[in-house]
Amino acid sequence: MKPVLLDVAGLSTTFPTGRGPLIALDDVSLSLDRGRTLGLVGESGSGKTVLARSIMGLLPAHAHRQGHVWFEGQDLAALSPRDLRDIWGREIAMVFQDPMTSLNPVMKVGRQITESLRHHLRMGKDEARTAAVDLLDSVGIPEPKRRADEYPHQLSGGMRQRVTIAIALACWPKLLLADEPTTALDVTVQSQILDLLQAKQAERSMAMILVTHDLGVVAGRTNEIAVMYAGRIVERADTATLFAETRMPYTESLLASIPRVERPSHTRLQAIAGRPPDLVTRPGGCRFAPRCPYAQPRCAEEEPPLLPAPTPGHTFACWYPVGTPAGDEALARNTASNEASNKAADRAADGR
Amino acid sequence: MNARYLGRKVLLLVPVLFAVSALSFLLLNLLPGDPAIAILGPSATEQSVAALRHDLDLDQPLPVRYVRWMGHTVTGDLGRSYVSNQPTVEAVRQRLPVTLELLLLSQLLALALAIPLALLAASKPNGLLDRASTSTAFAFLAIPNFMLGVLLIYLFAVRVHLFPATGYTPFHDHPIENLRAMALPAVTLGVAELAVYLRLLRSDLIATLQQDYITMAQAKGMSRNHILLRHALRPSAFSLVTAAGLNLGRLIGGAFVVEYLFALPGIGSLTVESIFKRDYIVVQGTVLLVAVGYVLANFAVDVLYGVLDPRVRHARATA
């Protein structure tokens, strides 16, 4: 039997800082099979991008990575930079966040595609050129022949992101890492780019990890979703399960912050109070506890492990999960004590 | 490179060249003292001074003199030396090859070493090579030209007889002797430029290597050398091109100290000799040469910006 396409085991990445090591990624494990899509969701600074980069091994020199990244049974973490370069672009490709900065400004668009083709697939000059024009055509760029001879600054943002997708797809990778591919784009272009990625993924039955801070983006487009918080995966499930049986309060908060069409207009969006924890001086216990409406004394003391839920494939890390008796009770207790303290505050204000 | 872009640049060059010529003409007219007296000496009679003043057009108003001088200049006549009676154009023509060769050799040497060293240093900032090349570069920058020249003469001409200490052999007479004579001056002149180029290119490369498109090229599986040469070098070359262009303009006027030290008959030594002899006509010619050299070198730099970065080209062509 073929090994699973991607199996990440105990992956941690730390960056040394003046104040001590910053643990950007803390003991993350996940696996992804061929042709499947995984949405990686979380706030800024939750470690999504670091996870995508750590899977590739594309980290700055001072970063320290531990753990294993099994790709088709081969541990990428153990490969030399030279061997890794044969994987990058060829087996695993990446689409970056900002197409304004991720294309080389002094190189023609066509050249930026053909260089991978010539390097990895050993294509000749003319063959690569034809393939590049076909690729530009396939990602929906009009007049691909003319566009291939243009420089990035002559293209719009959406066009540029189409070009970076063409570059990523050039060598038929088995895994595509799309790191917030629409964050830097106009809203009108965002869904076009996501549709394009989805179409290409299905057409090539390629596996894809779609990194985003927007649960709405991954809702209809991925098989599975992993929610990250402060460098850890806190909940993971099939997309439908995650939305139907949300267990982790952080996921619930993220869901509450998506605008919904079916809600009455002028419904307030729920922002998540507070800020993600400092990853250098992180307190013990559950990382979300300080912002969590369900938090109990236990949450500040013990970190909940990522444990399986009754539904197969669903895991979450929470002592008082949403939608369970324990969770309901915790929420009720917090609401009651909040009301009590509010009343006390009101009385104090009246008394003055 | 499109023709329209180049055409605009060339058109802009014409008024600049005129302004430069007018300024260099004016500059020499601002010098104190009467050139005629300076040429003839303090014992000259009043009649002979008046005759020379008339000869030199010095009795005419300044605008008239400028127009006449300009008329001669555009027809290739820069007047005659009052010391040797040699036409200035002839003197410059004799001296220019020496200066140009020195310029070319020293710049080639500096660039040929600075570019690969900067690439290596930038690919591993604060690595052994980076730190070694940085400290060496600063050491070379700190040594004045004349010191280094004397040191090189002592080491490679006096102690070990590898190169002649002074003198010049024309290239077409004896190419190998010519190169031997030019080696030490070119090294003396090139080493300080090498240090500057290395530092400029290194720091620009390090900034470029932080760019997203470099990470993207890495993610495509491109090799380190490919990324350095194909992706990073061109967008990092602006400061280098600017500095090299300025040096080019400066060195067309000759490297006075180095030419003097190695007894090379270049434009620099011609200018210095003429100043000492109060050979006002020749000085005027070499000053004009330096000024035009600067303008043309800057023109070349400007065109090169467009070659390096398509955004410059398009912005200017459509502006």
Residue A41 has pLDDT above 60, yes or no: yes
* C-beta separation of A57 from B221 below 8 A: no
Closest CA to B122 of B237, B257, B281: B237
How much is the average pLDDT of B187-200? 92
Residue B107 has pLDDT above 70, yes or no: yes
How much is the average pLDDT of B53-57? 79
For A141-156, the pLDDT digits (tens) are 999 999 999 999 999 9
Q: Which of B216, B221, B230 sits opposite A86 (nearest CB)?
A: B221
Strands of A87-174, DSSP E: 92-95
Quickly tell me which residue has 């983006």 as its tokens.
Answer: A217
* C-beta separation of A99 from A164 below 8 A: yes
Q: Is B217 on the interface with A (CB under 8 A)?
A: yes
* C-beta separation of A102 from A110 below 8 A: no
For B232-250, the pLDDT digits (tens) are 999 999 999 999 998 888 8
- What's the CA gap between A237 and B22, in Å, rounded? 80
Q: How far is CA B259 from the centre of its chain?
A: 13
Task: Using an 8 Å CB-CB cutoff, list chain A residues near B310.
Answer: 105-106, 151, 153
- Buried residues in B194-225 as b, exposed as e (16+ CB within 10 A): bbbbbbbbbbbbbebbebbbbbbbbbbbbeee
Residue A178 has pLDDT above 90, yes or no: yes
How much is the average pLDDT of B98-124? 93
How much is the average pLDDT of A165-175? 95
Q: What is the pLDDT of residue A166?
A: 95
Question: What residues does A64 pair with on adjacent strands?
Answer: A14
**Do A94 and B219 make contact, defined as CB atoms within 8 angstroms?**
yes
Share of chain A above pLDDT 90, in %: 67
Whole-model pTM?
A: 0.84
Assembly ipTM:
0.87
Please indicate whether residue B26 or residue B233 has the higher confidence score (pLDDT).
B233
**Do B231 and A90 make contact, defined as CB atoms within 8 angstroms?**
no
For B156-173, the pLDDT digits (tens) are 988 888 888 888 888 888
Residue of B nearest to A121 (CA): B221
Residue B319 has pLDDT above 50, yes or no: no
B185 Cβ partners below 8 Å, 6+ apart? Answer: B102, B106, B149, B255, B258, B259, B261, B262, B264
Q: What are phi and psi of B277, to 5 degrees?
A: -85, 5
Share of chain B above pLDDT 90, in %: 31
Q: What is the pLDDT of residue B185?
A: 92
Task: Using an 8 Å CB-CB cutoff, list chain B residues near A117.
Answer: none
Of the given ranges (A60-69, A112-121, A338-347, B257-266), which has the lowest mean pLDDT? A338-347
How much is the average pLDDT of B247-270? 87
Angle (deg, nearest 10), helices B175-208 and B238-252: 150
Q: What is the pLDDT of residue B243?
A: 93
Residue A76 has pLDDT above 50, yes or no: yes
Residue B64 has pLDDT above 80, yes or no: yes
Q: Is B234 on the interface with A (CB under 8 A)?
A: yes
Q: Does domain B97-276 have CATH number 3.30.710.10?
A: no
Residue A264 has pLDDT above 80, yes or no: no
Q: Which of B221, B231, B314 sits opposite A104 (nearest CB)?
A: B231
Single-letter code of the amino acid located at B202:
R
- Buried residues in B14-49 as b, exposed as e (16+ CB within 10 A): eeeeeebbeebbeeeeeeeeebbeebbeeeeeeeeb
For B278-312, the pLDDT digits (tens) are 787 888 888 888 888 888 888 889 888 888 888 88
Q: What is the pLDDT of residue B44?
A: 79
> Mean of the per-residue pLDDT values for chain B?
87
Task: Using an 8 Å CB-CB cutoff, list chain B residues near A115.
Answer: 220, 222, 226, 230
Torsion-angle region of A228 (φ positive above 0: left; ψ -120 to 50: alpha; else: beta): beta
Q: Which of A56, A103, A106 sits opposite B219 (nearest CB)?
A: A56
> Mean of the per-residue pLDDT values for chain A?
90
Read out DSSP for B132-164?
HHHHHHHHHHHS-HHHHHHHHHIIIIIISTTS-
